[in-house]
């Protein structure tokens, strides 16, 4: 039955309308989480407001558990779900660059869109930086693209890598979230003095 794209013949317009509607919900939730503010987002790196990890971790665990249940109940065919191919070197190097850009610039691509919609001039500069960075990447180092894709291993997930069933990972992530919540509450008390006034 799910994903709908495999059981239902979407017209192009209907598919794009669905994408727009999902984006509406995505943007609204990010805004309500406080992710339209670079100051709140980068606070995670100084420990006085861990909202970024709380929100992301909870979202990941929620979706992971629900996808696992839907798949186990036969409602969702995971074989029809697109998973980004794995290239560890590319993902680690790219992640390091993105993390550095995140704390320097204040945003990541999705949150900068929300901050832009909230009227933040720095988010508009950040978006201009994204466009400039993409143009420069395509212009000066187009060869990296082929290397990343040609050396990708296809779909590699923790269950496929270790042979341990998905359900155990779901359980482990729920337990890790509960522990992390305690740790983050401690960090927020420990670093409360860093919060700028």
Partner 1 sequence: MKPADTAARLPAPYWNPYVAGFVLGLVLLATYLVAGRGLGASGAFSALVATIANAVSPAAAQANPVHARYLEGGTPLLDFLPLLVLGTFVGGWIGAKSAGRLRFGLDRGPSIGAAPRLALAFGGGALVAVGAKIALGCTSGQALSGAAVLNAGSLAFMLAVFAAGYAVAYFVRREWL
Q: How far is CA 18 from CA 3, 11, 24, 59, 128, in A?
A: 13, 11, 10, 20, 27
Does 188 contact partner 1 by CB under 8 A? Answer: no
Out of 9, 72, 81, 150, point to the residue binding partner 1 (CB under 8 A): 81
Residue 72 beta carbon to partner 1: minimum distance, rounded to whole angstroms: 14
Out of 93, 171, 174, 175, point to the residue binding partner 1 (CB under 8 A): 93
Does 128 contact partner 1 by CB under 8 A? Answer: yes
User: Distance between CA atoms of 181 and 35, rounded to whole angstroms?
Assistant: 19
Q: What is the maximal distance between C-alpha atoms in the chain?
A: 55
Out of 72, 73, 110, 167, point to the residue binding partner 1 (CB under 8 A): 110
Q: Which two tokens stand for residue 78?
A: 């995971």
- Separation of CA 155 from chain center: 18
Does 120 contact partner 1 by CB under 8 A? Answer: yes
Does 178 contact partner 1 by CB under 8 A? Answer: no
Residue 186 beta carbon to partner 1: minimum distance, rounded to whole angstroms: 16
Stretch 17-76 residues interacting with partner 1 (CB under 8 A): 17-34, 36-40, 42-46, 50-51, 54-64, 66-67, 70, 76
Does 99 contact partner 1 by CB under 8 A? Answer: yes
Query: Which letter, b or e, does each residue of 164-192 get, where b requires 16 or more Cβ atoms within 10 Å of its Cβ?
Result: eebeebbeebeeebeebeeebeebbeeee
Out of 72, 74, 112, 179, point to the residue binding partner 1 (CB under 8 A): 112
Determine the size of the site formed for partner 1 (CB under 8 A).
Answer: 132
Q: Find, among 150, 144, 3, 165, the residue nearest to 85 by Cα.
A: 150
Out of 5, 174, 175, 192, point to the residue binding partner 1 (CB under 8 A): 5
In sign, the C-alpha dihedral spanning 127, 132, 136, 138 is positive
């Amino acid at each position: 039955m799910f994903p709908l794209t495999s059981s239902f013949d979407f017209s192009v317009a209907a598919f794009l309308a669905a994408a727009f509607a999902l984006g509406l919900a995505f943007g609204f939730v990010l805004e309500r989480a406080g992710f339209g503010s670079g100051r709140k987002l980068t606070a995670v790196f100084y420990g006085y407001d861990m909202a970024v990890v709380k929100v992301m971790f909870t979202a990941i665990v929620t979706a992971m558990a629900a996808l696992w249940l839907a798949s186990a109940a036969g409602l969702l065919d995971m074989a029809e779900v697109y998973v980004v191919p794995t290239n560890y070197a590319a993902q680690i190097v790219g992640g390091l660059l993105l993390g550095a850009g995140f704390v320097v610039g204040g945003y990541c691509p999705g949150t900068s869109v929300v901050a832009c919609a909230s009227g933040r001039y720095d988010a508009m500069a950040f978006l201009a930086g994204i466009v400039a960075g993409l143009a420069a990447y395509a212009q000066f180092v187009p060869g990296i693209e082929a290397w990343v894709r040609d050396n990708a291993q296809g779909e590699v997930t923790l269950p496929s890598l270790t042979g341990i069933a998905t359900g155990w990972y779901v359980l482990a992530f729920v337990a890790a979230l509960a522990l992390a919540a305690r740790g983050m509450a401690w960090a927020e008390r420990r670093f409360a003095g860093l919060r700028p006034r």
